[in-house]
A and B are shown apart, each in its own frame.
Chain A
């Protein structure tokens, strides 16, 4: 047995001698199911670490530009709706819970529970995207999309009497806030769309009876992906919506 042993469990000398003494989904280059499951999880976690780096670049840019153009970022951030942000956060957290329940149902071979959990997850994911689309549409109507049609009117002549009017050159920097807002939420939404597509495929497969043999790596890895996207939003929510409500003078 010359397998690339990366599983934490030691491979016993007498294990797996009988070629038929294992479930059919154990592929030949793994010694044990434990090793196969561990390898699948390890691959997914390594992928998620690359995703941390991918989002990390944009978080870094947000951190830097917020410190450079603080007042522009405060003004931009305060135009976002905290209520919408909170509802979206709650939606994603509940969807993470339903995915976790889905993984539990797959492990306990509860087909009906798995289908129900994943359908609720899909509905919540699509609801999140719907609220997000509505928010983006609002920004479009208000001319807050960076580029030729961007308007600094809301910042130079704020409608709310409590807001201090900004100088036009300073107000132009709000475009950087909105650029990063659309980049971060856009790439996050892209991940949600990919997640919803994968979820639909999984539901289709489960409908046909898949993943009921105890081999649930696919469901578990999908769960890891969905939770990761949830975690990205857990950080986007305070950074974009919450931390600029009481700006420093």
Chain B
């Protein structure tokens, strides 16, 4: 019996993986290099922005989310959104606890 595949499954090609790997390694070298420059308040901003770009590349291509169903995209989106809500609420609590004292 041949094995029928009833679902449409997108197989990512190795060439794509290799391209993403090279981009990730270049971004790693970039973020390390930028750490030695004095950008003032922008140092953490740039480092975290590069980290976000790297993780988006991993999620979309290595984890196939770009080719996945809306259900999976929504699941991860809801997860990150809830995480940001929790961070924001916690920080707004701490920042307003001793309001005016600092």
Contact = CB atoms under 8 A, between A and B. Distances in A.
A6 B70 CA distance: 11
Contact of A52 (B1, B5, B14, B79): B79
Given A38-B69, A97-B17, A245-B43, A238 B58 contact: no
Contacts of A9: 7-8
A32 B7 contact: yes
Interface residues of A, number: 62
A60 B64 CA distance: 28
B31 A94 contact: no
Contacts of A89: 28
B40 A93 contact: no
A224 B69 CA distance: 15
Contacts of B68: 41
A37 interface: yes
Interface in A83-123: 85-86, 89-90, 93-94, 96-97, 99-101, 104, 107-108
B96 to A, nearest CB: 13
B53 to A, nearest CB: 10
Interface string A39-68: 001100110110011001001100110000
A42 B71 contact: yes
Interface stretch (A188-196, A202-210, A228-236): A228-236
B21 A238 contact: no
A88 B8 CA distance: 37
Interface string B28-63: 110110111111110110011011001100110111
A246 interface: yes
A11 B81 CA distance: 31
Nearest to B77: A49
B18 to A, nearest CB: 8
Given A42-B71, A238-B35, A238-B51, 19 more contacts: A7-B7, A23-B4, A49-B78, A53-B83, A56-B83, A85-B32, A97-B20, A97-B24, A100-B17, A107-B9, A107-B11, A220-B64, A223-B62, A227-B58, A227-B62, A234-B58, A243-B44, A245-B36, A248-B40
The 7 closest A-B pairs by CB, nearest first: A34-B7, A49-B79, A238-B47, A243-B44, A242-B35, A97-B21, A8-B69
Interface of A: 6-9, 15, 21-23, 32-35, 37-38, 41-42, 45-46, 48-49, 52-53, 56, 59-60, 63-64, 82, 85-86, 89-90, 93-94, 96-97, 99-101, 104, 107-108, 213-214, 220, 223-224, 227-228, 230-231, 234-235, 237-239, 241-243, 245-246, 248
